[in-house]
Structure 1
């Protein structure tokens, strides 16, 4: 509303200058009349607009209240503004209604054209802003739906793998199968509790990752060792749920399981150059010996890349490279830190 008032004041100054150049007379007098008429019209129309709409998001009354409000506001502004101008100039009250000469016709014409023009400008700007907000809302809703779809695709992928392993353990090692089932129940309970959120603290992601790795430890035993390193100053950083588990699952399935001795997985987070950097590295067979994506190795990576693109755009990056020492693979995520 204040922005509308400033625009109205500037517009009135332009009208006063144009009238002074075209018809002569005192610029100060034209300015007083113009500002008085414009300010009265602006207060009436903008105040009435807010009262009628009840401060809802669409801040312009629907038909027929919108046009009626403009007509009433322009009429009120014309009468009130001229009374203020006459009082300032010392002219008799309602002198502007005198039909002699062109004063009334000129005043009415200028007021109608200016009032209608500036109201149309405000209406167009408001409609454009409202439509932009609706587009942004639709985009946010689409992004949220896409993230939920990707998460539902990832959950069954992990669940099916775990159930297949559990089926084998039931026949060869029932006690370990029971322990694995208990871990699975704990993991699914935590997953379901956070399934309604589009983001959660990085600490929650690490906690869920710990449950998953413990679940895998029941099956792999001493063949699986892991390290989770999360600095305290990054614990509350928001990230999408289920961002790291697909990467760890790939490391186990395609890196450690093909080795008889297994190996170690390390997940570390750090702050670097204004970004959140998360590394998932393993001491497995490495990229050259790992199965190709056509054999199932690329599902998790592609889903994580898609989630990063959906949430962060070009600011979210995933890179895959051989581990610098000891063989294996390292996946690095670069995410923007919140301002």
Structure 2
């Protein structure tokens, strides 16, 4: 059983939270609606109920009564239901009960503003009390219903925004997990081959083996940083590519020639991490390495209007004639890596990004990624 003082403390904490949530901006947003309701009441009192006072005086009385009802209803909502939405029927009954009180308080306030004797005003209003109370009750109920709907719409919108933010966070986590899976698919093949080469070089050429080990450490450090980042710059991506290609050049020797072209004005462009490395690996593994004399690899970035174009072109064996069919069910990493890139681009950029793979001239393969030109990557990243 909870202690009464603890219950009271919790209740007033809830009330304090509810009051703090009732910001001036929220009240100002409701102000035009209340004024419109008060104008309607003024017209009804003046031209339908035929009240003898002037239009201006009726407008002042309507505003005083209307705002008194509004303040009472909002206060009651905070005090009775501080931490939850009230039941519809209970809320309407509260409005009906508070309407006569708001009418009485508003009448006294208007009489005070005009300097009228209170007893005279009340005596005059008493002749119309039934109509005024009914009007106040109906108007308060209608206004409460409208405000109720506005509050519910606001709450539902806020809930939808929160759900959207939660979905975006989950999507970002999924993209990060996908990147880590992609790295897990990429790194073992290259790592085992490099370590096997290191084992042979240590006895034959220790100096070259030491250089290869230094390049491996540089590459692994760069990939570790990329795996922890939501985005990277083209400069960092090209640095990672250089470390990777330097490492492979030690193993392949003159069979691998490469060129990296990154214009200075594009160096700080943000892109998803590890976007080009899988393409470079595919080009070497499936194009250059199987070719007896090897070949060259050219990786470049260029701006075309409002698009960023990234190209990975090799002079290797080229695409197989049945590549499109084989890539759908590929288990060797070629189609898998390309499919991963397509899925990442679709998830991050949607239809604004494109990926294509085709024959290079005069021989080999060229992969082209097209991204929207921006200094920032999307929030999904």
Per the normalisation by structure 1, the TM-score is 0.80
Matched, 1:3 2:3: no
Q: Name 2:151's counterpart in structure 1.
A: 123
Q: Name 2:84's counterpart in structure 1.
A: 63
Q: Name 2:211's counterpart in structure 1.
A: 179
Structure 1 gap segments, 5+ residues each: 53-59
CA displacement at 1:12 relative to structure 2: 4.2
CA displacement at 1:193 relative to structure 2: 2.8
Asked if the contact 2:222–2:240 (Cα under 8 Å) also holds between the matched residues in 1, the reply is: yes
Match 2:275 to one of 237, 243, 256: 243
Matched, 1:331 2:367: yes
Asked if the contact 1:147–1:198 (Cα under 8 Å) also holds between the matched residues in 2, the reply is: no
Match 1:272 to one of 291, 304, 328: 304
Q: Name 2:179's counterpart in structure 1.
A: 151
C-alpha spacing 1:190/1:171, structure 2 compared with 1 (3 Å): closer
C-alpha distance in structure 2 between counterparts of 1:289 and 1:226, whole Å: 26
C-alpha distance in structure 2 between counterparts of 1:99 and 1:173, whole Å: 107
C-alpha distance in structure 2 between counterparts of 1:77 and 1:213, whole Å: 80
Note the 1:80-159 alignment, pairs <5 A.
81-83=106-108, 85-86=110-111, 91-93=116-118, 95=121, 98-101=125-128, 102-159=130-187
Residue deviations 1:180-214, cap 9 Å, x none? 33222222222323433221222222222222222
Asked if the contact 1:5–1:42 (Cα under 8 Å) also holds between the matched residues in 2, the reply is: no
Structure 2 gap segments, 5+ residues each: 1-25, 376-381
Matched, 1:23 2:44: no
C-alpha spacing 1:335/1:183, structure 2 compared with 1 (3 Å): same
Asked if the contact 2:359–2:365 (Cα under 8 Å) also holds between the matched residues in 1, the reply is: yes
Richer in helix (by share): 2
152-161 vs 189-198, which moves further: 189-198
C-alpha spacing 1:151/1:29, structure 2 compared with 1 (3 Å): same
Asked if the contact 1:36–1:82 (Cα under 8 Å) also holds between the matched residues in 2, the reply is: yes
CA displacement at 1:83 relative to structure 2: 4.8
C-alpha distance in structure 2 between counterparts of 1:76 and 1:265, whole Å: 84
C-alpha distance in structure 2 between counterparts of 1:277 and 1:76, whole Å: 71
C-alpha distance in structure 1 between counterparts of 2:321 and 2:85, whole Å: 73
Q: Secondary structure at the match of 2:227?
A: coil
C-alpha spacing 1:32/1:168, structure 2 compared with 1 (3 Å): same
C-alpha distance in structure 1 between counterparts of 2:265 and 2:101, whole Å: 60
Instruction: Please report the RMSD computed on the Cα atoms of aligned residues, expressed in angstroms.
Output: 3.6
C-alpha distance in structure 2 between counterparts of 1:164 and 1:41, whole Å: 78
CA displacement at 1:227 relative to structure 2: 2.0
Q: Name 1:216's counterpart in structure 2.
A: 248
C-alpha distance in structure 1 between counterparts of 2:242 and 2:313, whole Å: 15
C-alpha distance in structure 2 between counterparts of 1:238 and 1:119, whole Å: 45
CA displacement at 1:253 relative to structure 2: 0.9
C-alpha spacing 1:29/1:155, structure 2 compared with 1 (3 Å): same
